[in-house]
Structure 1
C-alpha cells in the first residue's frame, strides 16, 4: 500500500510540475535500496524544509523540466552521461582514481561535462582535491561532511548495554568490536569482498587482537557480510550478525559495543565514524574519508595507516586497556559528533543550494 501511494504521489507531482516556476523545486533523486543513500536523501529533504526549499524525494527519474535535481547516487548521472533539461547536482563521497577504475572513469566524465554540472558536494579534503583536478570551476565544489541526526543516537549506560547484549545473546563479559557497514559485493550473501571497505584488513586486525583479548566478540550489521562471517568462523572468533530492515535502528546496536574499527581503504565518511562518536563508542580508523579531517589522533579517536592491521590492533589495545585514554576519546568524540550534526549544517547547505534552486 505504501509503495502504491508513493507512485500515485509521484504521478501527482509530475502533473503539477507543469505549473511550477523554473527551478522553484528541488527533486532529491533517492536510491533504489532502502539503505544508506536513501537515508541521506531523507535527511537532506529535512534540511531543505528547514531552510525554506520546496523539495521532494523520489526513487524515480521524473522528467521535471527546468527544475533542480540532486542525485544522491552519483553513478546514476556519471556512468552514462546524458544531457539534462534541468540543473544537476550530486555528492562525490569517495573513489581514489589511482586505485579504482570506476572512479577514474566518473571523474573523467566530470572533466568532459563540467560545464553542464551545477554543484558537487564533497565530504572530505582528499576527494575535494580529486574533483578539483577535473578542471571544474572551484566555485561549484562545496565540502560538506556526511552529518548525523543526533536524535537517533544516544550514549549508552551500563544498564542499556547489558540489556541489548542480553537481547542479542552476547556475554556481558565479552569485549565487543563493531563493524556495521556493507563490505561484500552485491546485495546477497556478500561472499566476494568489496576490498575498498577493508574486510580482509578487519579480519587480520581482530585475529591479532584476540591474542590479548581472549573474550573478543564481533557484532555485525548491514547486508552482504558473508566474507567477514566466514573469516571469523575460520579464525574462531564468535560473532552475531543482525540484518536491519530499517537503517535508523542501527543506533540500538552501538550500545552493545566497546570499540568500533574502520578498516577501509577508501571512504566518503563512513557514517559509522560519527555514529560511534555520538553513541559514546571509541573509534579506531584507517586514514580515509572524513576520518582524516575529523579525527585528531588520540584526542577524539585513533588513526592508522591503510592496510596496517598491526597498527589498528595496537591502537585498539591501547583503548581497551587504558580507561583514561578511552574516556578522553569518548568525551571529545561526542563533541565532534555534535559539531557535525545535520542541525549545524544548515548554513553550509544554504550556500550549496544558493543559485541552484530558487528559495
Structure 2
C-alpha cells in the first residue's frame, strides 16, 4: 500500500503517518510505502524520525503545501507513475494537498481501495472564504470516489459530515490518533533535566506551549495572557516557555518585547525528545484558533501535566472542563490569565487534573490501538473489492 502525506513537518499528522506505517509493517500484513513532499527549514523535518522507525520515505519534490500549477502537476505525475510502478491495493492519503493529488492519481490508476484522513478542521482558519469554498467542492468530488474517509475525532466528523456535507455518514469513520505514550507516562524519572538546561530553579513555575510557531497556533494570546499576570504575586516566580519553531518566531519575540515580558519568556526552538520538557512544566497551554486532535495536549496529559486550552475544534474530545483540564474561549486572554493563575496557585488542583488527564488518554491514544483499528478497516475494505 502507499501512504501519501503532504510533508513530514513536525506535528501530529506526520507522527501519526510514521507510527501507523511502522506499526502496520511490523504486523506483517500490510507493506507500507510512505510518500511525502518537501519540508521548509523553519518547519522541522521528521524524516529522520521515520527512518528510526524503519520507514524510508520516498520524497516527491513537487509535493508542497502551497498551490503551484507547475509543482502540483509534477507531483501528480510522479505520484501517478509511482502508483503504476508499485500497483498498491490501497492508497491512503493524509493532509489536503496529498489528499487531492494522491486520490486523483489513485482514481485514474484504478487503485482498488482509496482512503483519506482529515486530521483537523482544515477549512477554518487556514484560507480565505473563497478558497475554502473551492476546497470544499474539490473534497466533495473526491469523496465520491473515496472508499472511506477517516476523521480523528467526533467533532471533526460533525464538522466535515454534518456542517460541510463533504462526505456521507456511511463513508465516514472516526479513528482517533495513536501515539507512543509510554515515554511520556514515565517522564517523572527525568524531572529536573529540562530546568537545568534552561537554568531555572526548582521553585520556578513553568507554563509551556508546544508546537509550530505559525498563525493558527495564536501565540499572541499566550503572550497576552502572560502580560495580564504582571500584577500577580506569582509574577516573580513564573516563566513562560515556547517550545517549537516556525515563521512566527520573530513576531513572537517582538510582541513579547512590546508587552514588556521578554525577560519572562524562553524560546527553545525545536526539541526532539519532549518527555523531559513535559516532566518539568507545571502547566501546558494551547491557544490555537483551530485544532483537530492536538498532539501536544495528548502528550502533556499522558505526562500527568495540568492542561489549559482554547475551546476549539476537537479539543473537547480530550478535555472536559474542570475534570481533566481547563477550557477558555478562543481569543480571551484575560480568562486564560485568570485560569492560569488559579492553576499555578493550587498544587492540588494541578495534580488532580494531571492524574485524570493521564488516565483518560493513555489507552485511548496508543499506537497499538491505532494500528489495530486501521488494520481492521483495511481488511473490511479489501474484502469488499475484487483484488487481482
Q: TM-score normalized by structure 2?
A: 0.75
CA distance in 1, matches of 2:319, 2:157: 18
- Pairing partner for 1:239 from 265, 279, 295: 265
* Deviation at residue 31 of structure 1 after TM alignment: 4.5
C-alpha separation between the residues in 2 aligned to 1:117 and 1:333?
A: 35
Counterparts of residues 1-359 of structure 1 (less than 5 Å):
26-36=1-11, 37-49=13-25, 52-59=29-36, 60=59, 61=79, 62-63=82-83, 64-78=86-100, 82-84=104-106, 85=109, 86=111, 87-95=113-121, 97=123, 100-101=127-128, 102-132=131-161, 133-157=164-188, 160-184=190-214, 194=215, 196-212=216-232, 213-214=234-235, 215-224=237-246, 225-234=249-258, 235-237=260-262, 238-244=264-270, 246=272, 249-340=273-364, 341-357=366-382
Q: Distance in 2 between matches of 1:164 and 1:171?
A: 11
Whole-angstrom distance in 2 between the partners of 1:53 and 1:355: 13
Aligned counterparts of 2:31 and 2:122: Cα–Cα separation in 1 = 34
**Higher mean Cα deviation, 348-357 or 119-128?**
348-357
Distance 1:314 1:223 in 2: 27
Distance in 2 of aligned mates of 1:210 and 1:147 = 39
Deviates more, 1:39-48 or 1:293-302: 39-48
Q: What count of residue pairs does the alignment treat as equivalent?
A: 321
Q: Report the secondary structure of 1:273's partner residue.
A: helix
> Residue 50 of structure 2 corresponds to which residue in structure 1?
none
Residue equivalent to 1:22: none
- 2:3, 2:33 within 8 Å by CA — same for their partners in 1? yes
Q: Once superposed, which parts of structure 1, at least 4 consecutive aligned residues long, lie more than 6 Å away?
A: none
Change (3 A) 1:229 1:251: farther
C-alpha separation in 1, matches of 2:102 and 2:219? 30
* 2: CA distance, partners of 1:164 / 1:113: 46
Offset of 1:98 from its aligned partner? 5.9
Quick one: structure 1 residues 74 and 270, their matched pair in 2 at CA, closer, same or farther if it must change by over 3 Å?
A: same
Query: RMSD of aligned C-alpha atoms?
Result: 2.6
Contact kept? 2:20, 2:371, Cα under 8 Å:
no
1:299-350 CA deviation, whole Å, 9 max, x = no partner? 1111111111122222212211122211210110111121322223344323
TM-score norm. by structure 1 comes to 0.80
1:191 paired residue number: none
Structure 1 residues 137 and 83, CA, compared in 2 at 3 Å: closer, same or farther?
Answer: farther
Q: Distance in 1 between matches of 2:123 and 2:270?
A: 32
Change (3 A) 1:80 1:108: farther
